[in-house]
């Protein structure tokens, strides 16, 4: 199903566009892949698309995902990762730099952009590393990488452990005007910890990763951002203490922003132990698919993260989509790779917070669209006239059961297999083109 020159009048939806403070039953006119007008009863020479009963928003913007290409194509490719993205409603994805090789040269940035141009279903904005090879010892050439198209800098997967290196990175980032994104976990405090340091770790006899491993580094980064005047963005905030530190720093006017993942908002460390009483063999006594860095924390931490979303302390919801192969996860939990394949479940996970009355739908949509775009200065996440017609239509009444085998992502690693979740991505548009539609909407369109 295609519109004429990717043009449509999308009618009948409740349109939520936080960038323009809009939440109303209006039509959206898409002309040649661009948002032309938003308003009531639009008359236009374009095919009608009936979105009755759906919620229409800008396509979601993910500040943090791992597409694994180049070098780790057995886990994911730009093609499969962006296919997963559009199924999950994400039309813009920012790819992390811990590929093989690490994204630390303009040539690698150019390679990712070229492959995205050829094969991606969604828009891809690459991050580059902060240090060469993410070894933490020598800064990358930020100006050249920025020129090549890097939207931010991160050694994600690893923290920038050396405080002096972080200070220099922040100072240099001022020259290119792009944020440093830090994976805050002090390696000296984490050591070989596997899960959150707490009761579940004790009960399972697993080594813990203390909340303080994250919080000390968030505090350090906030202070260095204050000192340098640079923009630091805290990846995947997971603890109550981190939320408190970021809130206090924002009140002081520090240029600090933060993201949170769907799993840290909605799951706790207790699900790691879920398989203990099943008849699995001993090596699989824990749910390795719930192993993630930073680890799933406590219910009190999740509540603090939700409060942080609501009061603006946390700017964005980001997936930290981290696909792994079966072999990466089919081993003893301390040896298993960390990460969750998240793009295809993210919206439904966080929509649970709307269902339970903890977050309003417009707030949730803002954390998936306008807010992440603002954090990285991206041109998407809005239905302003002239913006690319990247849209998602949501069927909030639908429920579905998570079947990792049906994922477009190569990463089947999710602790949610078999879970029934509310809300479904019905249609996704990139540049006005329908790039994903569930069965019952595939018949809709021009009439």
Where along the sequence are the contacts to Zn ion (CB under 5 A)? 156, 183
- Residue 366 CB, shortest distance to Zn ion, in Å, is 23
Of the residues 287, 320, 390, 395, which is catalytic?
320
Ranked by CB distance to Zn ion, the top (closest) residue is 183
- Residue 156 CB, shortest distance to Zn ion, in Å, is 4
Question: How many angstroms separate the Cα of 402 from the Cα of each of 28, 318, 418?
Answer: 31, 19, 5
- Residue 221 CB, shortest distance to Zn ion, in Å, is 14
- Residue 131 CB, shortest distance to Zn ion, in Å, is 15
**How many other CB atoms are there within 10 angstroms of residue 241's CB atom?**
18
Closer residue to Zn ion in complex, CB, 154/200: 154
Task: Give the residues across from 95 on adjacent strands.
Answer: 65, 126
Task: Tell me if 344 sits within 8 A of 87, measured CB to CB.
Answer: yes
104 catalytic residue (yes or no): no
DSSP string, 36-67: EEEETT---SS-EEE-TT-EEEEPEEEEEE--
- Residue 321 CB, shortest distance to Zn ion, in Å, is 11
Closer residue to Zn ion in complex, CB, 237/402: 237
- Positive or negative, the Cα torsion across 133, 344, 79, 335? positive
Single out the residue of 332, 323, 328, 326 nearest to residue 280, CA to CA: 332
Token readout for 233 is 């963005």
Closer residue to Zn ion in complex, CB, 2/191: 191
Q: To which residue do tokens 């998570």 refer?
A: 402
Single out the residue of 154, 307, 161 nearest to residue 220, CA to CA: 161
Angle between the N-to-C axes of helices 361-368 and 299-310, in degrees from 0 to 180, rounded to the nearest 10:
90
Closer residue to Zn ion in complex, CB, 159/206: 159
Closer residue to Zn ion in complex, CB, 156/186: 156
Task: Tell me if 57 sits within 8 A of 15, measured CB to CB.
Answer: yes
Closer residue to Zn ion in complex, CB, 265/437: 265
Task: Give the contacts of 26 (CB within 8 A, at least 6 positions apart).
Answer: 15, 38, 39, 40
- Residue 144 CB, shortest distance to Zn ion, in Å, is 24
Task: Tell me if 170 sits within 8 A of 228, measured CB to CB.
Answer: yes
* Residues with catalytic function: 320
């Amino acid at each position: 199903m295609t519109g004429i020159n990717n043009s449509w009048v999308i009618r009948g939806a409740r349109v939520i566009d936080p960038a323009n403070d809009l939440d109303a039953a209006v039509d959206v006119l898409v002309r040649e892949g661009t948002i032309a007008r938003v308003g009531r009863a639009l008359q236009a020479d374009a095919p009608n698309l009936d979105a009755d009963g759906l919620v229409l928003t800008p396509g979601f913007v993910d500040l943090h995902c791992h597409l694994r290409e180049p070098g780790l194509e057995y886990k994911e490719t730009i093609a499969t990762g962006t296919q997963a993205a559009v199924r999950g409603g994400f039309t813009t994805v920012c790819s992390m730099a811990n590929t093989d090789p690490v994204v630390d040269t303009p040539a690698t940035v150019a390679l990712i952009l070229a492959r995205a141009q050829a094969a991606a279903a969604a828009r891809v904005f690459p991050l580059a590393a902060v240090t060469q090879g993410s070894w933490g010892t020598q800064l990358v050439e930020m100006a050249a990488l920025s020129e090549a198209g890097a939207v931010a800098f991160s050694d994600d997967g690893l923290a920038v452990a050396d405080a002096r290196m972080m200070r220099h990175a922040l100072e240099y980032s001022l020259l290119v005007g792009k944020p440093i994104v830090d994976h805050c976990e002090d390696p000296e405090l984490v050591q070989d910890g596997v899960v959150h340091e707490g009761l579940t770790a004790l009960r399972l006899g697993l080594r813990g990763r203390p909340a303080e491993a994250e919080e000390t580094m968030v505090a350090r980064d906030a202070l260095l951002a204050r000192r340098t005047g640079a923009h630091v963005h805290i990846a995947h905030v997971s603890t109550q203490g981190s939320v408190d530190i970021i809130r206090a720093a924002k009140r002081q006017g520090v240029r600090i922003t933060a993201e949170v993942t769907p799993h840290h908002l909605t799951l706790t460390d207790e699900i790691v132990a879920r398989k203990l009483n099943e008849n699995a063999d001993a090596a699989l006594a824990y749910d390795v698919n719930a192993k993630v860095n930073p680890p799933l924390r406590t219910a009190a931490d999740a509540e603090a993260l939700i409060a942080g979303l609501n009061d603006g302390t946390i700017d964005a919801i980001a997936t930290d989509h981290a696909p792994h192969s079966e072999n990466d996860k089919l081993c003893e939990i301390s040896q298993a790779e960390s990460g969750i394949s998240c793009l295809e479940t993210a919206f439904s996970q966080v929509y649970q917070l709307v269902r339970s009355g903890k977050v309003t739908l417009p707030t949730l949509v803002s954390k998936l669209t306008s807010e992440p775009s603002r954090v990285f200065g991206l041109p998407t996440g809005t239905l302003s006239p002239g913006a690319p017609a990247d849209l998602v239509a949501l069927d909030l009444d639908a429920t579905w059961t998570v079947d990792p085998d049906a994922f477009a992502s190569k990463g089947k690693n999710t602790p949610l297999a078999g879970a029934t979740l509310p809300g479904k991505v019905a249609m996704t548009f990139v540049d006005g083109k329908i790039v994903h539609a569930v069965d019952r909407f595939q018949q809709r369109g021009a009439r």
